């Protein structure tokens, strides 16, 4: 039980730390540039975005823990799932760097499309190890799909 709780804590910390790292570039006092961008009327309020991300990162942490704790008949499946998870997490933080840090919505749009595919691959890999862990990543996949659409719209609105 103690080892399981430790792994759950580490899993949550990894995911929430990635969210924190990305948020360093999105803090309201930093991206004055973002406030000046033309955005569609359906852009969510900041509190909605931050609440969604905190929830998603917590779900990601639980899903990560579930896969990490699984003792599969094929250990390679767990390794592959964890590798995909790490890759999509790096891409997640990278999007914040491109969009907010470098102020490159076009590059960020391309990157978030790659991120979405990486999340989809992670969902499939997690599902194969433990179906419930894949289900926990579905809100993340949906939210990043929405974020990609918003990113693309902002890019188009501001590239004129």
Note the pLDDT tens digit of each residue in 60-74. 999 999 999 987 677
pLDDT digit string (tens) for 80-132? 999 999 999 999 999 999 998 889 999 999 999 999 999 999 999 999 999 99
Domains of the chain plus CATH, in order, are 2-158 (1.20.1260.100)
Q: Are the beta carbons of 137 and 67 closer than 8 angstroms?
A: no
Res 28: pLDDT: 62
Residue appearing with tokens 């990560």? 64
Rg (CA), the chain: 16
- Residue predicted with more confidence, 125 or 75: 125
Res 31: pLDDT: 66
On the question of pLDDT at 1 being above 80, the answer is no
Res 40: pLDDT: 98
Classify 103 in phi/psi space as left (phi over 0), alpha (psi -120 to 50) or beta. left
Mean pLDDT over the full length of the chain:
92
How far apart CA 126 and CA 84 sit, in angstroms, is: 9
């Amino acid at each position: 039980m103690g080892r399981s709780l430790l792994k759950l804590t580490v899993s949550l910390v990894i995911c929430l730390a990635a969210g924190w790292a990305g948020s360093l570039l999105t803090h309201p006092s930093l991206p004055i540039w973002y406030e000046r961008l033309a955005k569609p009327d359906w852009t969510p309020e900041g509190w909605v975005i931050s609440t969604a991300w905190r929830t998603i990162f917590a779900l990601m942490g639980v899903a990560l823990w579930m896969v990490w704790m699984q003792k599969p008949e094929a250990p390679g499946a767990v390794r592959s799932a964890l590798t995909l998870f790490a890759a999509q997490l790096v891409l997640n933080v990278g999007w914040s760097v491109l969009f907010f840090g470098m102020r490159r919505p076009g590059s960020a749009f391309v990157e978030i499309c790659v991120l979405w595919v990486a999340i989809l691959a992670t969902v499939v890999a997690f599902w194969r190890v433990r179906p419930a862990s894949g289900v926990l990543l579905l809100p993340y996949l949906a939210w990043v799909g929405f974020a990609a659409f918003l990113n693309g719209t902002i890019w188009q609105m501001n590239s004129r």
